[in-house]
Amino acid sequence: MEPADIGFVSSVLGIACGIVAVVSGSIVKVKRMNNERRIRESIIANNIDPETARQLITPEENREKNRYSTLQWGCVLLGLALGYLFTLLLNAMFGSNINEHTFSFWIILSSGIGVGLLISFAIKLKMENRENASNRQEE
């Protein structure tokens, strides 16, 4: 297989993965909205007391916990890319033979992921501290 063919196939697969992700995300969102609508209709039809209704309708609180997941994944992937670039730099500058078949290649990639996780943790901690400080000032 020629390099141009590999590039074409990887581009098509990358675009297809993006399309599948958007479509499946939209389907999940529509189903979730329909579920919430049915729950609200059931609450109204059955005259459920307000406390039970609040317990049935408050799954949105779980999203607060995952608020920084995009930041975390972005930093992990950025760390992975930087680890890969570091291996390329080592190969180019020092003529070392680090490729995907060597153990050191995977160690460098794992280190890049670890650095990405540490950076995302530091950023998340800083953002949460700012948010808490602004909430205290508002009170």
pLDDT confidence of 63, banded at 50, 70, 90? low
Exposure string of 12-35, with b = 16+ CB inside 10 Å and e = fewer, is: eeeeeeeeeeeeeeeeeeeeeeee
Name which residue leads in pLDDT, 133 or 3.
Answer: 133
Average pLDDT value for residue range 54-82: 78
- Tens of pLDDT, residues 93-131: 888 888 888 888 889 999 999 999 999 999 999 999 998
Question: What pLDDT score does 129 carry?
Answer: 93
Average pLDDT value for residue range 30-39: 88
Kindly tell me if the per-residue pLDDT of 58 is higher than 80. Answer: no
Q: Is the pTM of this model over 0.75?
A: no
Q: How far is CA 38 from the centre of its chain?
A: 29
Give the DSSP per-residue string, the chain: --HHHHHHHHHHHHHHHHHHHHHHHHHHHHHHHHHHHHHHHHHHHHT--HHHHHHHH-TTHHHHHTTTHHHHHHHHHHHHHHHHHHHHHHHHHH-----TTSHHHHHHHHHHHHHHHHHHHHHHHHHHHHHHHHHHHH-
Question: What pLDDT score does 62 carry?
Answer: 54
